[in-house]
Amino acid sequence: MTNTSNDALYHYVLGLADDALILGQRTSEWCSRGPFLEEDISLSNLALDYIGRARMFYQYAAQVEGIGRTEDDLAYFRDERAFSNLLINELPNYDFAFSIVRQYFIDVHACLYLEQLKYSSDAHLAQVATKAIKESRYHLKRSETWLLQLGQGTTESHERMQNAVDELWGYTSELFLMSDAETQLLSSGICVDRSELQEPWMAQVSADLSASSLAVPDQQWNVVGGRKGDHSEHLGHILAELQILQRSYPGLQW
Amino acid sequence: MQTISVVTPEYAARHALRANSSCYSLWEILDKVFDPELPQVSIWDLGILVNVQDLHTQGVKVVVTPTYSGCPAIDVISADIIAALNGAGIAEVDVQVSLSPAWSTDLISPAGKIAMRNQGIAPPDSEVHCPLCGSENTGVISQFGSTACKALYRCHSCQEPFDYFKEF
């Protein structure tokens, strides 16, 4: 592998790792704050699946980079602008409806995405995808059920869900945007062509929103930039909480 | 009490690998290593023990696969494997965590499913029976239970809540 394509692979895998870590960390904020005990446990387990996924990607990114950095170095010692997660992952939880709608949008995307990544020409990524897709399918069952229940629930639950759908909609276009690294790796069959997932994603989401009595937004605005390190004001805060221990006591272990 | 399902092809393949292994006694040592979150189910029965190889002068190599990506037990399990083999006089033990083949509940042994039920956990099956009274009249309370690999159910016959080991 040439240095250029090795660099692209590193940045590609790092992006997937950052997505998983930031969503996992964000979801873990629900721990002890869930609407009821069982749901609290579900949210914590969901967060754990994402942290596990982040570790698999960071370990591989560190190996590809090959300069002796570890998964912990990548997670704890990079600054905000070096994080390349998609913006949808870093938005605050706001309310339960917002977290559920975000998770639902991401679950539909993850199932489509990982189904393709299973056939990556990179054997390690294919293995991670084979493992992760089973989890995402399970997550989707749960978020779909909540979408239906809350979309068709009370006036308030419906209103909160619709607000969440409208607010998040402009952040979904980034899920289908190819990064420079991905464009570079596409011909070798390592990564997935995100742009091709937009149509099936839209079809499924439109159908599920309709079934949940929720309207598909017709707004045209969208926000992008996460992959390039252009983040919202929320990422700095989440990193502060995530990284403070290792930044204060570098190398500290449990 | 309902019967336990027949042997899956996935388990049969694992069983054949073990039966044909040249280091059968090493597998038996690891039968005494249990999942820390399922104290009566061994790592063999749970399907997370993938392979054991005797590399002679280079020690013993053990391959395990995690149940879920975020399974926090895998580090403890690796340490337990090393301790068990060290205890049997094998100093050099290399535990490798492999993601492939991806773990699934089809890898669980019939004995593992019985051990789960004896512990009050409904084993993975297409129909979820209450592990306490055997009733099929059960319903889900939460899709995630006390750990990522379990869901929380309730029996409508005896009214008891119980953990269901998710089919995965």
> Are A130 and B70 inside 8 Å of each other by CB?
no
- Residue B167 reports pLDDT greater than 90: no
Q: Cβ distance A115 to A133 under 8 Å?
A: yes
CA-CA distance, B105 to B68, in Å (whole number)?
A: 11
Structural domains of chain B ordered from first start:
9-107 (3.30.300.130), 120-165 (no CATH)
Burial of B33 (0-12, 13-18, 19+ CB in 10 A): buried
Residue of chain A with shortest Cα separation from B69: A52
pLDDT at position B126 is 77
CATH T-level topology, domain A3-248: Ferritin (1.20.1260)
Burial code (b: 16+ CB inside 10 Å, e: under 16) for A51-87 equals bbbbbbbbbbbbebbeeeeebbbbbbebebeebbbbb
Helix and strand element counts for chain B (H, E): 5, 9
Rounded to the nearest angstrom, the minimum Cα separation between A221 and chain B is: 35
Structure-token pair, residue B92:
């050099």
Q: What pLDDT shows up at residue B3? A: 58
Chain B residues whose CB is inside 8 A of the A45 CB are 70, 144, 147-148
**Per-residue confidence (pLDDT) for residue A183, from 0 to 100:** 97
pLDDT at B87: 96
Confidence of residue A2 (pLDDT cuts 50, 70, 90): low
* Per-residue pLDDT at B57 exceeds 80: yes
The CA distance from B63 to the nearest CA of chain A, in Å, is 15
**A144/B126: higher pLDDT:** A144
Intra-chain end-to-end CA distance of chain B, in Å: 24
Asked whether the predicted pLDDT for residue B85 surpasses 90, the reply is yes
- Chain A residues in contact with B68 by the CB 8 A cut-off are 48-49, 52, 135
**Buried b / exposed e across A196-228, counting CB within 10 Å, b at 16+?**
ebbeebeebbeebbeebebeebeeeeeeeebbe
SS3 label, residue A216:
coil
Phi, psi of A126 (to 5 degrees): -60, -40
CA–CA distances in Å: residue B133 to residues B6, B137, B157, B160, B163 = 21, 10, 8, 9, 14
What pLDDT, in 10s, does the model give residues A99-138?
A: 999 999 999 999 999 999 999 999 999 999 999 999 999 9
What's the whole-number mean pLDDT along residues A76-89?
A: 98
**Chain B residues within an 8 Å CB radius of A39:** 142
Q: Is the pLDDT of residue A27 over 80?
A: yes
Residue A171: φ, ψ to 5°: -95, -5
pLDDT on residue B99: 87
Q: What confidence tens digit (pLDDT) does each residue in B99-140 have?
A: 888 899 999 999 999 999 999 999 988 789 999 999 999 999
pLDDT reported for residue B4 = 55
What's the pLDDT score for residue A254?
74
Nearest CB partner across the interface for A49, out of B70, B104, B166 = B70
Closest CA to A132 of B102, B47, B87, B2: B102
Point out which residues pair with B151 in neighbouring strands.
Answer: B164
Q: What span, in angstroms and rounded, lies between the C-alpha atoms of A108 and A133?
A: 11
What is the model's pLDDT at position A38? 86
So what's the pLDDT on residue A253? 83
Best to test chain B binding among A19, A27, A38 (most B CBs inside 10 Å): A38
- Kindly list the residues from chain A whose CB atom is less than 8 angstroms away from the CB atom of residue B145: 41
Q: For residue B101, is the peptide bond before it cis, meaning its omega torsion is within 30 degrees of 0? A: yes
- What is the per-residue pLDDT for A80? 97
> Which of A23, A41, A43, A117 has the highest number of chain B CBs within 10 A, making it the mutation to test binding with B?
A41
The predicted complex's ipTM stands at 0.76
- For chain A, the structural domain boundaries read 3-248
Question: Chain B closest CA to A223's CA: distance in Å?
Answer: 30
Contact A235, A83 (CB under 8 A): yes
What does the pLDDT average to over A202-219? 96
> A49–B66: do the CB atoms touch at under 8 Å?
no
Greater confidence (A58 vs B6) lies with: A58
Do the Cβ atoms of A130 and B143 come within 8 Å? no
Best of B75, B100, B103, B143 to disrupt the A interface by mutation (most A CBs within 10 Å)? B143
